[in-house]
Amino acid sequence: MSNDPVSGLLGHRPGKVVAVHLSYASRAGQRGRVPAHPSYFLKPGSSVTGPGTVTRPDGTELLGFEGEIALVIGTAARDVSPDEAWAHVGWVTAADDLGLYDLRYADRGSNVRAKGGDGFTPLGPDLIPAERLDPGRIGIRTWLDGVLVQDDSSAGLIFPFGLMLADLSRVMTLEPGDVVLTGTPAGASVARPGQRVEVEVFSLDAPALTSGRLATDVSAGPALAPWGSPPEADEAQRAAAWGLPPEPVLTPEIRERLEAVAVATLSVQLRRRGLDEAAIDGVRPLVPGRRLVGPARTLRFVPYRKDLFAERGGGFNAQKQLFDTIGPGEVLVMEARGDASAGTLGDILALRAKVRSAAGVVTDGAVRDAAAVASTGLPVFCAGHHPAVLGRRHVPWETDTAIACGGAAVQPGDVIVADDDGALVIPPGLVHEVLEAAEAQEREEEFIAEMVRQGESVDGLYPLNTQWRQRYEAKD
C-alpha cells in the first residue's frame, strides 16, 4: 500500500492523475506566452506518494519541482458545467509535480518518463474538505530549504478550477479518487540531492484550514539503465527547469536584420515551409515607406450589438486597455473581421502607442483621423480610412488571445513584419530559420539582378541552374 493520502482515504491509488500544463498568470509571464485554453497531460498512479524522499538518478541534473493545488474528486463528474464542477471535488491538498527535465526532450510533450517516475507526485500530508473552501481563495506556497520560493493563490489562475474540471469532463468521467493537479505559479525551479522541498495549500480566509507542509527530500540514486533515450540537458531545458525567462526571439540584432529583408522574400520562405496563410491580407501602409517589426499584442472586436456595446464599449474598454499597456517594440494587431466601414484606431490612441514606443499597429479594419494618425510617425497598416467611430460596427471584446487578422491567425508573441507589400506573421520558433534563408535568397537574387543588368538572359539564370549556381558560389 502506498503512503499517499489518497490511497489512505480510498484504499487504492487514484485511477487518473491529470496535470495542467500552464494555468497561472505569474507562470505564463515567466514563459512568455498566455494559452487561450488549458491543456493537460497524464501522470501514472504509481507516481503518487506522500511525504518522503525522491531520488534523482545519477547522470541527471534537472529535477524540477512545482508546488501545486491538488483536487481530489469526491463524486463522479461527466459533462458537468463550470458552475457545477466544484461540487464534485471531495478534498484539496498540496502536491509537488516533480519532473526530470533531462528526459523532457524524449517525451515530446507527453511527460511519460519526464514526470511519470515513481514518487514523482507527492501529495498531502492532509486532505482539506472542499466544501469548507472558497475555490477562488486557496493559497499555495512552496519552500526550498526553508526559503519561500512560490507564493500565490487560486485568484492568480488564468483558468478557474471549475473550467478545468468541466473541460476534462466533456471527454472523460472524473471518478472518485482521481487527482487533478492544477498547475504551478511562478517560482518553480530545480532541487538538488540534499535539498528539501515543502509545499502547503491553505484557505486564505481561514489559514488553519491547511494541508500541512508536504516535505520531500531529494537524494542521489543510481543512474538510469543505459537503454532508451539517454538524459540530455541543453541551455533551453536548463532555462525552463530553473524558471528562467526564455531568450527573447527579437534581439536587437535579429530585429535589425528583419528590418533589412523584404517582406516579399520572407513570404517566399514561409511558403516553402508550408505557411501559405502567413500574410495578413487586405492591409496597406497608411504612409508608404514605413516598416515595422515586433512581437504581436492582440485585440479582437466582435460585431456591433447595442447591448454588448453598452456593456463593453465605453469607458476604459479592451481597446483602450491594450493601447495603454502596449510595450516598447510591440505591434498591436487588431481583428476587425475585414470590416473597414468604421474606425478601429484614431489619433489619440495612435499617439498613446507612439509615446509608449510601440513598433506599430496592424488592423484589418479602418483608421479614422488618418492624417493626424499619420503625423504621429507611428507605422500603421490598415484596410482603409473611415470617419466613423468603432461603435458603428465593432465592440472591443478581448485582448492577448489568438485572433484572425486579414485571414491570418495571430497569437500573442508572433513576430509581425510589414513593409509596402503588406504584413506577415512569423511563428517565433521559425524566426531564425526563415530570416537566414531569406537573407541567403536576397544575396542570390542580388547576384541574379547584377547579371541581368550586365545583359544576361534570365533563361537558366532565374532560377539558377547548375552552371549558374556554380558560378554564383564561386564568386565567394
Model confidence at 289: pLDDT above 90: yes
449 burial level (CB within 10 Å; 0-12, 13-18, 19+)? exposed
d(CA 126, CA 38) in angstroms, rounded, equals 27
Q: Looking at residue 95, which CATH number applies to its domain? A: 3.90.850.10
Q: How would you write 284-309 as a 3-class SS string?
A: EECCCCCCEEEEEEEEEEEECCHHHH
Please check whether residues 220 and 355 belong to one and the same domain. Answer: no
249 found inside a domain: no
Q: Give the Cα separation of 337 and 90 in Å (integer).
A: 45
Closest C-alpha among 377, 361, 337, 376 to residue 284: 361
At 31, is the pLDDT very low, low, confident or very high (cuts 50, 70, 90)? confident
Mean pLDDT rounded to a whole number for the chain: 93
Place 6 in a pLDDT band, splitting at 50, 70 and 90: low
State whether 297 and 388 are in the same domain.
yes
pLDDT at 29: 78
Confidence of residue 194 (pLDDT cuts 50, 70, 90): very high
Check whether residue 12 and residue 128 sit in a common domain: yes
Residues 40 and 174 in one domain: yes
7 pLDDT band, cuts 50/70/90, is low
Q: Residue 381 — φ and ψ, nearest 5°? A: -120, 125
Sheet bearing 189-190, strands edge to edge: 99-100, 63-65, 189-190
Is residue 269 in some structural domain?
no
Contact call for residues 236 and 72 (beta carbons, < 8 A): no
| pLDDT tens digits along 61-82 | 999 999 999 999 999 999 999 9
Same domain, 136 and 233: yes
Helix (H, G, I), strand (E, B) or coil at 41: strand
Residues near 326 by Cβ (< 8 Å), separated by ≥ 6?
297, 332, 353, 356, 358
Domain closes at, from 426, 443, 460:
426
pLDDT at 58: 95
Which three cell numbers, joined as nine digits, stand for 392? 458603428
Beta-strand pair 48-49/52-57: unpaired
Alpha-carbon distance 283 to 292, whole Å? 13
Same domain, 74 and 221: yes
Q: Let me know if 207 is exposed, middle or buried by CB neighbors in 10 A (0-12, 13-18, 19+).
A: exposed
In the 8-state DSSP scheme, what is residue 389?
-
Say which residue the cell 510595450 belongs to. Answer: 327
Beta strand 292-303 pairing with 394-399: antiparallel
CATH number of domain containing 358: 3.50.30.40
Separation of alpha carbons 37 and 460, rounded Å: 51
- 29 and 150 inside one domain: yes
| Pairing mode of beta strands 63-65, 99-100 | antiparallel
The answer to whether residue 1 scores a pLDDT higher than 50 is no
Q: Note whether 288 and 233 are same-domain residues.
A: no
Residue 441 lies in a domain: no
Asked if the structure places residue 248 within a domain, the reply is no
Residue 109: what pLDDT? Answer: 75
Cell numbers given for 85: 464542477
Shared-domain flag, residues 205 and 282 = no
Total domains in the chain come to: 2
The whole-angstrom separation of Cα 111 and Cα 98 is: 11
Q: Check whether residue 32 and residue 141 sit in a common domain.
A: yes
Question: Do 23 and 102 reside in the same domain of the chain?
Answer: yes
- Tens digit of pLDDT for each residue in 308-329? 999 999 899 999 999 998 989 9
Distances (CA, A) of 340 to 86, 367, 385, 386: 44, 8, 7, 7
* End residue of a domain, out of 411, 426, 441: 426
Nearest to 352 by CA among 337, 371, 372, 334: 372
- Which amino acid makes up residue 376? T
Residues 201, 30: contact at Cβ < 8 Å? no
Domain limit, last residue, from 402, 426, 450: 426
Instruction: Note the pLDDT tens digit of each residue in 90-114.
Output: 999 999 999 999 999 888 778 999 9
pTM score of the predicted model: 0.58
Q: Give pLDDT, residue 157.
A: 95
- Shared-domain flag, residues 299 and 225: no
For residue 176, give the DSSP letter. Answer: T
| pLDDT score of 2 | 47
- Of 95, 67, 58, 56, nearest to 192 by C-alpha is 56
**Average pLDDT of the segment spanning 134-144:** 97
Q: Is the pLDDT of residue 418 over 70?
A: yes
Range of the domain at 144: 5-242
Q: Which helix (H) or strand (E) holds 160?
A: none
Residue 215 domain-assigned? Answer: yes
Is the torsion defined by CA of 86, 89, 91, 96 positive or negative? negative
In a domain, 78, yes or no: yes
Residues 359-397: pLDDT tens digits? 999 999 999 999 999 999 999 999 999 999 999 999 999
Closest CA to 421 of 241, 261, 274, 313: 261
Q: Is residue 440 part of a domain?
A: no
Q: Is residue 27 part of a domain?
A: yes
